[in-house]
Amino acid sequence: MNLGLEQKSVLVTAASRGLGLASAQLFAAEGAKVTIASRNEESLQRAAQQIQTATGQSVNVVKLDVNRPEDIARAIESAEEFGDGLDVLVCNAGGPPGGSFIQLDDSKWYQAFEQNLLSVVRLTRGAIPYLRRSSAGRIVNITSSSIKQPISGLVLSNTMRAGVWGLTKTLSDEFGAYGVLVNTVGPGRIATDRIAEIDEVTAQREGIDVAQVTEKFIAQIPLGRYGQPEEFARAVVFLASPANTYITGQALLVDGGMVKNL
Ligand SMILES: NC(=O)c1ccc[n+]([C@@H]2O[C@H](COP(=O)([O-])OP(=O)(O)OC[C@H]3O[C@@H](n4cnc5c(N)ncnc54)[C@H](OP(=O)(O)O)[C@@H]3O)[C@@H](O)[C@H]2O)c1
């Protein structure tokens, strides 16, 4: 299937590693003009080099902390200049810290709100004038399987991701009239640095090996393994492409069947 992404202008935030990087690389492989943005310049340059080597496409690189409105404005402007417009926005950010409710004070709640919910609001507000002008404007918000089944010990993530899901649905209604399609994709357990760190912390807390932690999670996944970032990226890239003409306001989990609800 031709996804129709050639020459489309795409901004992926938090794209120097993991799910963001895998998505950016697949957009580039499809011939899109891709801008990647995150905080550490060295990691960004490494990611750009990786994409260039794998796809032959050079990508635009912008330093961005999604907590800073001025960085968001600059990233959108840079993506728009590089791509001669903006067709696709993929909102991604680092995950909030774990912890149970009684361990978390207001400052942690404000930080998680700004990084994982307000950033999506700000990115969308900045990008929507350009997306409206596109013939195939698309927004994909990266969340978590917790939008369908909250995860113990991740109260900040559970709460903010649910907010992004509510926002996604609402925006799909408001932006449908402009032909802008808005969806969210929720990872279950996709093998990235973040998941490796979480497994390590869980192993320490429970006094067991990381391998045992991994085994426990895998036992809950019908496909019997963690997913790979490229497998997740395929869902993001399809939903963000002109080939997706009628799917909007949806939450798609890429979780190997882990979440059991209907
Ligand atoms: N992997 C999974 O299975 C899974 C499951 C559920 C939810 N998630 C969520 O999906 C998102 C991506 O996960 P991942 O596994 O790809 O994480 P990852 O491997 O830790 O990568 C995180 C990326 O986010 C960037 N980043 C972090 N904070 C940022 C900020 N304030 N502004 C801009 N960029 C920032 C990092 O680059 P810099 O440090 O250079 O900024 C890096 O590129 C996270 O929110 C995670 O919680 C992932």
**How much is the pLDDT for 45?**
98
Radius of gyration over alpha carbons of the chain, in Å?
Answer: 18
Q: How many CB atoms lie within 10 A of CB 57?
A: 17
Of 192, 190, 189, 198, nearest to 99 by C-alpha is: 198
Q: What mean pLDDT do residues 196-207 have?
A: 91
Whether the predicted pLDDT of 142 surpasses 90: yes
H-helix or E-strand spanning residue 29: helix 18-29
Q: How far is the CA of 240 from the centre of ligand 1 (A)?
A: 19
Q: What mean pLDDT do residues 225-241 have?
A: 98
**How much is the pLDDT for 54?**
98
User: Confidence class of residue 205 from pLDDT cuts 50, 70 and 90?
Assistant: confident
Decide whether any atom of ligand 1 lies within 6 Å of the 115 Cβ: yes
Tens-place pLDDT, residues 79-113? 999 999 999 999 999 999 988 899 999 999 999 99
Q: How far is the CA of 192 from the centre of ligand 1 (A)?
A: 9
* Residue from 13, 17, 59, 72 to probe ligand 1 pocket by mutation (most atoms less than 8 Å from CB): 17
Decide whether any atom of ligand 1 lies within 6 Å of the 93 Cβ: yes
Decide whether any atom of ligand 1 lies within 6 Å of the 17 Cβ: yes
- In this structure, the chain runs to a length of 262
Measured at the CA of 196, the angle between CA 192 and CA 202, to 5 degrees, comes to 145
Q: What mean pLDDT do residues 14-35 have?
A: 98
**How much is the pLDDT for 48?**
98
Q: How many CB atoms lie within 10 A of CB 3?
A: 18
SS3 81: helix
d(CA 91, CA 139): 8
**How much is the pLDDT for 129?**
98
Question: All domains of the chain, ordered by start, with CATH?
Answer: 9-190+228-254 (3.40.50.720), 191-226 (no CATH)
SS3 163: helix
d(CA 34, CA 32): 6
Of 230, 233, 222, nearest to 255 by C-alpha is: 222
Position in ligand 1 atom list of the atom nearest CA 142: 10
Decide whether any atom of ligand 1 lies within 6 Å of the 160 Cβ: no
Whether the predicted pLDDT of 13 surpasses 90: yes
Contact 140, 223 (CB under 8 A): no
Token pair for 79? 């993506």
pTM value is 0.98
Q: How far is the CA of 38 from the centre of ligand 1 (A)?
A: 9
Q: What mean pLDDT do residues 121-137 have?
A: 98
Over pLDDT 70: what percentage of the chain?
100
Q: What are phi and psi of 99, to 5 degrees?
A: 135, 150
Return the residue whose CA atom lies nearest to atom 48 of ligand 1: 187
Decide whether any atom of ligand 1 lies within 6 Å of the 189 Cβ: yes
